[in-house]
Structure 1
Amino acid sequence: MRTPRRASVAALALVALLAGALTGTGAGAASAADPTVFTVRPSVNQVYVVDATPGAQLELLDGASAVVATGTVDSAGSLAWRELDAGAYTVRTAGDPASATPVTVADFDDAPPPQSFYDGQTLTKGFNYITTRDGTTLSANVVLPSGNGPFPTVVEYSGYDPSNPANTTFSQLYTNLGFAYVGVNIRGTGCSGGSFLNFEPIQSLDGYDAIETIAAQPWAAHHEAGMVGISYPGISQLYVARTQPPHLSAITPLSVIDDTYRGTLYPGGILNTGFAVPWAAQRQADAAPYGEGWEQPRVDKGDTVCADNQALRLQNPDPLALIRDNPFYDQRYYEPLNQSHFAPKIDVPVFLAGAWQDEQTGGHFPAILDDFSSSPHLFATMTNGSHTESLSLGVFGRYADFLDLYVGHRVPGNAKSFVAPILANALTGVNGQSLPPGPTYDGMSYEQAKKSYESAKPIRILFEEGAAQGAPSGAPLPRYEKSFSSWPIPSATPRSWFLSPHGALRSDKPAHGPGKAKPRSYRADPAALPATDYTGSSSGIWKAHPAYDWRQIPAGKGLGWVSKPLRRTVVAIGTGSVDLWVRTPARDTDLEVTLSEVRPNGTEVYVQSGWLRTSHRKLDRAASTPISPVHTDLEADAAPLPTGRFTKVRVELFPFAQAFRAGSRLRITVDAPGGARPLWAFDTIAHGERVRIAADRRHPSKLVLPLVKGVAVPKKAPACASLRSQPCRTFAG
């Protein structure tokens, strides 16, 4: 059992928070309409006001009695101030010292409450509320497996509806694996109190308090809890684990992101309006009063806590305004949302999985893997596929074993063999499949099983998911795999293919200068293709054969380069770089680059894409490598393209793993963003400008890929339509 890392105690702030809310009472008789009557709740870098008169003007004063903020009480009688420094504050009706209420605001880095705070809370089977350090209550639903406890316990924590008792999907999954399951709603969502903003710091501390309260329960084995969840509740695990709850045993973040700005929201500096913006808008809608839909029936049945917890919802900041107001990497706003930057603080075992072509979170997540420097054990599995691939049959066995070993502290059991096929069928519609052969622990002690698990190389790459031998086409199973000691793959070697003036990718550098090698050009027309290559339901894309509409770029609207047939099979694993010498009279343009494989039979298979707004081309040279251009994305570094001359820009291909067999050809295309991915569409500035790309001795544009030796690749290529999340089309050169 580990102990808290922080020894400093901000005693005044902690006492004020644990003591609860304070009520301001002005002179004279109070009434419901009296603007001097309100309740003040101090929090962590925040202050909440409730029970105030709608329309009343309130002031926030610092310790020196200077007004630092003002606000108007909303129609629910509430007001919130955020991003406050720790210290003493006073809230009062504007200009009325007699109504003043002093409070003490705590800081994110203050010491947590004493253990007695968590030991004093009781959670029973069914619906509960967890009290956090600032007095906010979080709705939590406890589901216990059959048998006698205590039980190894897992926690799902998000702004979806994990605490909704009617949401049984994941509770059944984990209880059938023998774990107690606790679903907790983030503050400001569901029946949880407080105000909501995506991934704001206080949610991390709430997660700490939730873990410690749950671990203190008599039914929680070892008085520990692990965390589970895919996507939103996967990402939330990273935020909670960075606070180092002493009784957090392990985390299992699935289908996550590494950097909110660069990985999903503004890839290449271009706003992702196809997924990221709608996702943020939906979370805002869900966090409105009674926004998820299951809260009102609870209130109607007498849940007064849930009713009271809706009070601050009108104080939720507008995430869309924050997104559009921060098109560059504003460190004040985006550093707290950069998961790679706080991953070094995570000091528990980590099991992470995801897919390169993830249509939601995007597939850039592997960039976080080498940042888990404090974790005693990191295990990562990566594959081609969709957003739910992290729960596929090829992943699930190792995932369940990890939970047994690091959360259950027990020898892995066989329940996974029954659970995984049911889950796979529910997600993909493919029935009758089983877990592939994996490690067995029969006859081992716990220590022997744990040693065996840890003896395997921790970075596991699954290839050609959907084309497993003996399985139906599109089944969530890999055809083969390879494991490595770390990420990026240590043995990966950059190899360059140079663009030629005539549309070829060549191994040798251009021989001719600009005078003989005429640049090629295209019109940057985002309307030339559909915004995305898939328009079906979000769950339909997880099925075996989604109806993709991946089209060739119309003539004149983009450019392509293709290599000669490969003499031998090569395997690329990691990010790629497309280095282009670009000129356009528009002074700025948006680029989308796409890598594909052209097979001898004339079919073309999608591999991966990357994006760049050319004004964001400034590199972080310390972080960049030949296969991974990293841009600063700072407003101070943004610059238009020079007039009348070519400028080098480097576009990162998101991570991938692909075998290009002998006889196949490599192809890259360049055009305006759109048409290459499902769900991801872009707020592009491209508007028909002529974009020229040079490929000569002075301007050696090139494709750079990380080639890895030692991967045993089946000789025969799979049917391209079988590969999960890798669309196939007829090649047109």
Structure 2
Amino acid sequence: MAAAVAAAACVLAGSLTATSGASAAGPSFTVRPSVNQLYVLDAAPGEQLALVQGDDVVASGTVDELGSLAWRQLDAGSYEVRGEGGTSTPVTVTDFGGPPPPSSFYSGQALGDGFGYITTRDGTTLSANVSLPKGRSGPFPTVVEYSGYDPSNPANTTFAQLFNALGFAYVGVNVRGTGCSGGAFMTFEPVQSIDGYDVIETVAAQPWAAGKVGMVGISYPGIEQLYVARTQPPHLAAITPLSVIDDTYRGTLYPGGILNTGFAVPWAKERAAQAAPYGQAWAKARAEAGDEECAENQRVRLQNVDLATMIDDNPFYSSGIGDPINPSVWAPDIDVPVFIAGAWQDEQTGGHWPALISRLTGSPHVYANLVNGSHIESLSLGIFGRYADFLDLYVAHRVPGTAKKLVAPILAQALTGVGGLQLPPGIDYTGMSYRQALAAYEAQKPVRVLFEEGAAAGQPAGSPLPRFVRTFSSWPIESVRPTALYLDGKRLGGARPAQAPSPRVRGYVADPSALPAVDFPGGNIWSADPTYDWRQIPPGKGLGWITAPLERTVVAIGTGSVDLWIRSSAPDTDLEVTLSEVRPDGTEVYVQSGWLRASHRALDRTRSTAISPVHTDLAADAAPLPAGRWTKVRVELFPFAQPFRKGSRIRLTLDAPGGARPQWAFARTVSDGERVQVLADRRHPSRLVLPVVPGVQVPAAAPPCASLRSQPCRTYPG
């Protein structure tokens, strides 16, 4: 480890002694340069320090009570730190796109089975836990899970056991500033991506790792895979991002420009709390048991970014802040095979992620799996078999094995509580060579849409299995036909309303307190049968439109657009639209929602389409609603796939945000009793535009409503 630390320092600016900035009569603190960052360690608490470049003071700060100070978002170059005792020797801050260390830096580090540390190029150490398959000899195909949860916690063995059972070595690594890892923390900051590069190269250099390695994980560690893959580590074989985001701002944090205080803000606060000194109990236990490295690595934690303040201070999209943490911006840089999966109704990350698929243009193979359901649906039985095959083919470079048939049902039961399930049939690789198996896998259409998850024939209601699957060659689906349904009174129809003698205006009072957030008092939302509390909008607090019974089945797959001509008694209002299906028996089934703050209505004209309004969300484009005038706004319906069968009706509702999706809430809505009106006539064609895909065959009868995963049901009032 000492050799690795010395090598890291050489990469940056000489030995640790040279970079410490301490001369015989100079300051006593240590200066550690990093990637667009610089850390000061071992300084006197309360000391005022200045960051100097050339003759200019470019930043200043106060040393915290643990003796640390960090500066971020620095340009690459030479810097000195000036304090009361003098000025440090020059150190070199490197750039995000700068050259990596030599291969000897990675091969010089040794990781064994169990807990240890990986040294990054700036000398920061990241806690890692290695789990090798028991009773087998290596080298092993290897996967890495990387996040700010606790993947390096030796007591967290769930995924280690899962991947060991599939024949992979597993390495769990905590990002900097979390667990026992050193450095300071900010969610998804660019230096974590560079650290991830160093992690991949170090793991791949171990004698027990068989060549290139893959990345695994769902949600947070799924998202981190995107950030690491953009740096193009030479020994990264493939990634498998599950339940992820496409755009931090628009997809989860500020959907439609409205702050998500139900999931996104609490998640950020929890990450900040866990990144505090000893914010994770297991790390404190290790330090108290004698892990001096873990204890030392807590010292910079008071330099973590205040995430709550950062969120509050940035209600609009800013390229300087948003682009580095927006996967859709730099997704083309990802150049390895990708297996991506997620759910439309994801109650955490939100389901906007399919917009990322078409941006993965640099990847040689992108396999996308899209399904109705919850946050854990990306690990469901309809997906897991192909997920395991992908890892075998693109990471292990072997014919897919059969261990997945034993592992998948155990995982499904652990997540949903449903036992006795089996993987659905997949490709039979019996007797195939590796080349034949790879060709068979790649011959499949890459986009799989799993319909009516929870309603598989012969299985308990709510089981994590689809009723049927349809495959396509691309996303968005090439054959999609934007199909408009026009608002006309209380009806939705295929023709524009006739020009009436008087304007066709309907209105409501925007009352965020009128509906509680959708609750699931019946238990775990991931279980087979949560009891949702999904209520109808109270009279006068919203609007609804509905079609006549459909004369033929309509299958919609993709994003949708709700184009409204509105007028408000206030200069701004927040809108929530919800799409549902009303069956002939009067049962209403939730499909999808969308949100928009009216002042964020400006569109990115180069990216918007008839079914996908893309808003700029820039402060410069924000504008109040003109008083007394009708204004067109377009609200994006998040992606979905739904068969609206013959005899059913399509319903659209509009109200103030907060009553449509579990765990998503909008406590800081601007709506506060204003009267919102909607105009729908020939000159002002308010409409719902659906992504209709012709020719998709579906079972004739609808499944039991309560069986559908994450699609609540209620009675339509008529």
State TM-score, norm by structure 1: 0.95
What whole-Å deviation, never above 9, does each CA across 1:83-137 have from its counterpart, x for those lacking one?
A: 111111111214x5x3433211111111000111111111100001000000000
Q: Which amino acid aligns with 1:314?
A: L
Pairing partner for 1:216 from 205, 208, 211? 205
Secondary structure at 1:527 match in 2: coil
Query: Hey, what does 1:406 align to over in structure 2?
Result: 394
Give yes or no for contact 1:37–1:99 (8 Å, CA) kept in 2.
no
Choose the corresponding residue for 1:16, options 3, 9, 13: 13
- Is the Cα–Cα contact under 8 Å of residues 12 and 93 in structure 2 kept in the other structure? no
Aligned residue in 2 for 1:495? 483
AA matched with 2:491 = A
Deviations 1:486-509 (A, max 9, x none): 0000000011110012x0001111
Give % identity. 69
Give 3-state SS (helix, strand or coil) of 1:424's partner.
helix
* Structure 2 residue corresponding to 1:204, chosen from 185, 193, 209: 193
Secondary structure in 2 matching 1:148: coil
Match of 1:70 among 55, 60, 66: 60
Counterpart CA distance in 1 for 2:686 and 2:265 is 33
Give the drift of 1:531: 2.8
What amino acid does structure 2 have at the position aligned with 1:48?
Y
Q: Could you give the per-residue CA deviations for residues 187-207 of structure 1, whole angstroms, max 9, x where no partner exists?
A: 000000000000000000000
Alignment partner, residue 486 of structure 1? 474
**Any conservation in 2 of the 1:517–1:696 contact (CA below 8 Å)?**
yes
Cα displacement (A) at 1:48:
0.5
Q: Deviations over 1:268-315 (max 9, x none)?
A: 000000000110100000000110110111112211000100010000
Please name the residue that 1:33 is paired with.
none
Cα distance in structure 2, aligned partners of 1:111 and 1:468: 51
- Structure 2 counterpart of 1:676: 660
Q: Deviations over 1:303-351 (max 9, x none)?
A: 1000100010000010111111110011111011110111100000000
Structure 2 CA distance for aligned equivalents of residues 263 and 654 of structure 1: 9
Distance 1:156 1:729 in 2: 40
Tell me the residue number matched to 2:541: 557
Distance in 2 (CA, whole Å) between partners of 1:621 and 1:719 is 41
The question of 1:701 aligning with 2:686 is answered yes
Deviations 1:505-562 (A, max 9, x none): 011111024x42430000000000003344676xx11000112100000000000000
CA distance in 1, matches of 2:656, 2:18: 54
Q: 1:536 to 1:315 in 2, by over 3 A?
A: farther
Letter aligned with residue 548 of structure 1? Y
Q: CA deviation at 1:356?
A: 0.2
1:592-623 CA distance string (max 9 Å, x none) = 00000000000000000000000100111110
- 1:506 maps to which residue? 493
Q: Deviations over 1:465-484 (max 9, x none)?
A: 00000000000000001000
**Residues 482, 17 of structure 1: alpha-carbon distance in 2 compared, 3 angstrom cutoff:** farther
- List aligned pairs for 1:549-698, cutoff 5 A: 549-682=533-666, 683-698=668-683
The residue number in structure 2 matching 1:8 is: none
Q: For residue 4 of structure 2, what is the aligned residue in structure 1?
A: none
Give the deviation of 1:23 after TM superposition.
Answer: 3.0
Contact kept, 8 Å, 1:14 with 1:106, in 2: the verdict is no
Cα 1:17–1:611 shift into 2, 3 Å = farther
Say whether the 8 Å CA contact 1:12–1:104 is kept in structure 2: no
Rounded Cα–Cα distance in structure 1 between residues aligned with 2:617 and 2:643: 32
Query: 495, 516, 526: which one pairs with 1:530?
Result: 516
Residues 334-388 of structure 1, C-alpha deviations (whole Å, 9 max, x = no match): 0111101111000000000000000000000000001111101000101000000
1:151 — aligned with what? 140
Letter aligned with residue 700 of structure 1 = P
In the alignment, is the contact (CA less than 8 A) between 2:521 and 2:530 conserved in 1?
no
Q: 1:377 aligns with which of 365, 372, 376?
A: 365
Measured after TM superposition, the shift of residue 691 of structure 1 is 0.2
Residues 133 and 164, structure 2, Cα contact 8 Å, conserved in 1: yes
CA contact (8 A) 2:80 2:87 kept: no
Q: 1:680 to 1:522 in 2, by over 3 A?
A: same
- 1:270 alignment counterpart: 258
Aligned position for 1:52: 43
Partner of 2:29: 38
- Distance of 2:64 and 2:230 partners within structure 1: 34
Report the count of equivalent residues.
Answer: 709
User: Taking structure 2 as the reference length, what is the TM-score of the superposition?
Assistant: 0.97
Q: Structure 2: how far apart are the matches of 1:20 and 1:346?
A: 37
Partner of 2:383: 395
Is the 1:534–1:679 Cα contact (8 Å) retained in structure 2?
no
Question: Taking structure 1 as reference, are residues 341 and 273 closer, same or farther at Cα in structure 2, changes over 3 Å only?
Answer: same
Q: Deviations over 1:695-729 (max 9, x none)?
A: 11111100000111222211110011100000000
Gaps of 5+ in 1: 1-10, 31-35
* 1:334 and 2:322 correspond: yes
Looking at structure 1, the residues matched to 222 and 24 of structure 2 have their Cα atoms a distance apart, in angstroms, of: 50
Counterpart in 2 of 1:439?
427
Deviation at 1:66, TM superposition (A): 1.4
Q: Specify the code of the residue in structure 1 equivalent to 2:516.
A: P
**1:105 has 2:89 as partner:** no
> Distance between the aligned counterparts of 2:149 and 2:579, measured in 1?
35
Offset of residue 585 of structure 1: 1.7
Aligned residue for 2:5?
none
1:234 CA displacement: 0.2
Supply the AA of the counterpart residue of 2:31: V
- Counterpart of 1:425 in 2: which secondary structure? helix
**Letter of the aligned partner of 1:211 in structure 2?**
I
The corresponding residue for 1:178 is 167
Offset of 1:14 from its aligned partner? 3.3
Give, in whole Å, the separation in 2 of the partners of 1:15 and 1:26.
19
What SS class does the counterpart of residue 586 from structure 1 fall into? Answer: coil
2:249 corresponds, among 243, 253, 261, to 261
Cα deviations by residue, 1:637-694 (Å, 9 ceiling, x for unpaired) = 1111111111110000000000000000000000000111000001211001000000
Residues 1:311 and 2:299 aligned together: yes
